[in-house]
Structure 1
Amino acid sequence: MAARFMAACVGTFIFATAQAQEATPHKLANVAILATGGTIAGSGATSTTTVGYTAATVGVQQLINAVPELKSAANVTGEQVFQIASESMTNDHWLKLGKRVNELLTQNNVDGIVITHGTDTLEETAYFLNLVVKSRKPVVLVGAMRPSTALSADGPINLYNAVLLAANPESVGKGVLVSLGDQIHGARDVTKANTSTPDAFRTPELGMLGYMQGNKPYFYHVSTRKHTTDTEFDISKLDSLPQVDIVYGYANMNTVALDAFLAAGAKGIIHAGTGDGSVAAKVKPGLTDARKKGAIIVRSARVGNGIVARNGEANDDQLDFVVSDTLSPQKARILLMLALTKTNNTKEIQRMYYTY
């Protein structure tokens, strides 16, 4: 009899506890949305205008209001950091954005950050932040390939997924993330691979990190390269970044662009070579002379995938050149700018390319 009574009491307690848990509302994370413009904030002449639209016309509060489902995803606040098309992104924009992100992430009432951004340079901003953010809290960049006025605008669902991703504890410590088209990419390796289709963002060789499905992230890979809190870069006292420019390799190329960049004060040159970062015979003397005069030369490749082999297509040890590892020319430029705020030693800079 006593045993039966005890079992009934235990059953009643478990049932009451389950009811109490169901009645207790889930505590939402606090996510700050920083808006910078881009297609996700763009507008077109008609609902079928998916190219030829005007970017950066819709403010952050309008973006938030257009996705009422965000209220169930997180406690969302919005801030308009700037309002530009991302092809006009500058070093000054990056420094301002990076400092604001770091400032917000020190606050206890901010659990994660979403940055709305134009897609043209989204991958570059993401990698810059991956190197300078000083927090393990999630930072997610999101954009859209179709303007907000389009019949099949991808911005609202992309923004919703990005907020869910930034609010999820599983995103902590994984570096800066990029979320579009139900996919999760790492900042270091993602690239825009199509001019206009919604599936434009890809990590073609090393692979995306996971998916967004059913209102939650599913991670399958993480980057082994150091990022965020594990980097040596500090922008808190920087007002500018060293000038680094990209020289593109092609058949019958010359040194006109190289000479112009150096004359304009470039402290570093990313050579986006053909193949495995090959250097044309006409250009090699110019790069060699530039290095002797103090400019840092980094051999990268225009092909988009693969490791640029040190001492492969050029005797980098003898020439005192650096190779970009697997970084694209545009991302190699970002790392060199930050590296030059720390050192001019090519051995140290090469270490950074193999580290980040």
Structure 2
Amino acid sequence: MDGDLAAAIRAEAAALGFAECRVASADGAIPLSAGRLRQWLEAGAHGAMDWMETTAERRGSPQALWPEARSVIMLGMSYAPATSPLALADEGGVGRISVYAQGADYHDVMKRALKALARWLVARAGGDLKVFVDTAPVMEKPLAEAAGLGWQGKHTNLVSRDHGSWLLLGAIYTTLALPADGRSGGDCGSCTACLAACPTNAFPAPYRLDARRCVSYLTIEHKGPIPTEFRAAIGNRVYGCDDCLAVCPWNKFASAAHAHLALAPRAELTAPEVADLLALDDAAFRQVFAGSPIKRIGRDRMVRNALICAGNGGEAALVSRVVALLDDAAPVVRGAAVWALGRLDPARFAAEAGRRREGERDPAVRAEWESVAIAA
């Protein structure tokens, strides 16, 4: 019966749009994860993501979060792109958004599908369960590896034989005792393409990520000014970074045809004009990014990111927009505008600095005026 139930779960998951569905035991499936997480946190590699530290004990194993859990159903939803995310790397006038964020918010898409599968499972076999998508203290990638969806690559993300590096993960914890599928095997061999592709050298070693150097962390999670040492390397990335994922050789087996339809990219988010992003106020930001995961970073961080891109792109036509943002209410925006202006138009920067620097009340923005002037 358990085997028949597991097969039925996989069939129902496929009908709901999941590309992968496999089972791991809730007990002892990821014995090394708690220790590795502790070492990562002790090194401070999580940056300002304090919730990783406060929930560390519950992340260590499924039963640490929910003692009644007996099985973990791990599910993968494909978001494989139809074109290379690297294609816009040299287009200074447009912003690059990570593939997963170009469509509907995957949290909402996956949560609906997970809840539908959960309702089906309870009706079919009973038991209690909990569903998780990214926001709970769940070690999705180690659990996905334990269940056999793939393996954690040297870029620390999951790699699938069939879907490359393009799987979003969700989990259902259940009190049902389901037969575990076991690990599928596979590894990255001698390949280091993902490590070499990182623009900010965020991998101190294979299978280790220092989030403090990661463009995704810097443009999404980091709330303050982006450290100067990383700004040029960010290029035209305004939200996240796909480089380490995009170069994975296993992507040759992935197909956009397997991607969930609800995650299809919106045309206005595939290559947004930096000029348009610089013009966003709060209302326009909410309108443009409604239903997108990007909405959670808020307008100020998006405009900060767009200013970094403007400074890197060298588009003289953006100078007037950048100057206007020197008066923005948000210090993080004003500071980024100072840096961008110094890159785009040194003469205009000098003129603006003469009348603005002493009157700036925010110490971080004032430091931007000083540091750019020194660099010039």
State TM-score, norm by structure 1. 0.30
Structure ID, larger Rg = 1
State TM-score, norm by structure 2. 0.28
* Larger relative contact order, structure 1 or 2 (CA cutoff 8 Å, min sep 6): 2
Of Structure 1 and Structure 2, which has the larger fraction of its residues in helix?
2
